[in-house]
Amino acid sequence: MMLMAGVDQKVCIDLNSAASGDEKSKPFPIDCGQLLPNSAIIFDKEEGSQLNLVGKSKGKSAYRSIINPDWDFQKMGIGGLDKEFSGIFRRAFASRVFPPEFIEQLGMKHVRGILLFGPPGTGKTLMARQIGKMLNAREPKIVNGPQILDKYVGESESNVRKLFADAEEEWRRCGSNSGLHIIIFDEIDAICKQRGSMAGSSSVHDTVVNQLLSKMDGVEQLNNILVIGMTNRKDMIDEALLRPGRMEVQMEVSLPDEFGRLQILKIHTSRMREYKKLDPDVNLEDLAKRTKNFSGAEIEGLVRAAQSSAMNRLVKAGGKVLEVFRVFRVHQFAFTVVVIFLRVSLWQIIGLLA
């Protein structure tokens, strides 16, 4: 095997002055020089290189910030989840902000798993996807839990192994300089139920859980993976998966409060406000108060229903499409009617019709 190395930069420093702590002893660039027994050579790993630097050969410049510099929380389209994002960053990503050599000196392992749980429609899936965009990481692998299961023996476990294959291969090549691999499981409770809790097909679910546990916290522990699971039923998930070293960061994503609902309303009406399709009589603060116990998905549905209601009224009134387009506005009345209908349960409707 032939190894070719290129010299990127040559600098010179007076070692005697440096040893005495003289502030004037700063390195300066040179065009040529002679290698002496005490000359220092620093190797830097280039992005995508198949060579792995170990021990003292590691250059500090190989470190790259885990946070994507182009990431902007305000443009994520997520409302009411500021506290949850702050908590996840503090608990799951704090260690990844520091250079790999510093983490190795501490003998520390990064958090490898996050579980987002809560009622349907609260933004768990959207939050997981945005975490992938926030980080300087490989393209996230997003899989729906039931997709892992296969009717053929051994295929379900093989599907789990395939998800981790790229991370394992890069870890063998690059070690701590490996990029971060994110695997997102939606409806993780479908494949990680309590072992022994299901009759008939329980053996399949049990082996899938065992396979996932071995990949996250087995003999060959990887420090370049982040598994994000989402569920509406945390109580159904095998307890072993929730222990430290696995999905140890567990964040509840609950229904938004009034401030969160206002944020969500502003997000989903921003385009209408930009193009003046939202009438000035619409009071978003009032709507935020009226929509107590609404999920983010339900608030999005509210805006969509109000838009449809306004369109239907114009269509019934007649007129050409271009003329309708010019005068189209969504009024407070449309939102109010939709909120009332959403709050009326099926049993109340049946009672009114009886």
Helical (H) or strand (E) element with 327: helix 321-327
For domain 73-252, is the CATH number 1.10.40.30?
A: no
Alpha-carbon distance of 141 to 183, in angstroms, equals 5
What residue ranges of the chain are covered by domains with CATH 3.40.50.300? 73-252
Within the chain, all domains assigned CATH 1.10.8.60 are found at 258-353
Contacts of 210 (CB under 8 A, 6+ apart): 195
From CA 28, how far away is CA 345, in angstroms rounded? 76
Say what the pTM is: 0.75
Q: What is the largest CA-CA distance in the chain?
A: 99
Question: DSSP of 150-174, one letter per residue?
Answer: -SSTTHHHHHHHHHHHHHHHHHHHH
Mean pLDDT, consecutive 10-residue segments, the chain of 354 residues?
64 59 61 69 60 55 63 72 84 82 83 93 88 84 87 83 92 81 92 74 76 80 88 92 90 93 93 90 93 90 89 71 74 85 56 42
For position 354, what pLDDT does the model report? 38
What gap in Å lies between CA 13 and CA 33, rounded to an integer?
12
Helix 296-317 / helix 332-343 crossing angle, nearest 10 deg: 120
Sign of CA dihedral 189, 190, 195, 199: positive
Domain formed by 258-353, architecture? Orthogonal Bundle (1.10)
Q: DSSP letter at 283?
A: -
User: What pLDDT is recorded for position 344?
Assistant: 65
DSSP assigned state of 180:
B
- Predicted local distance difference test score (pLDDT) of residue 318: 62
Per-residue pLDDT, 80 = 79
What pLDDT, on the 0 to 100 scale, is given for residue 8?
66
Pairing of strands 28-29, 11-12: antiparallel
What whole-number distance in Å separates Cα of residue 327 and Cα of residue 270? 18
Cα 4 to chain centroid, rounded: 39
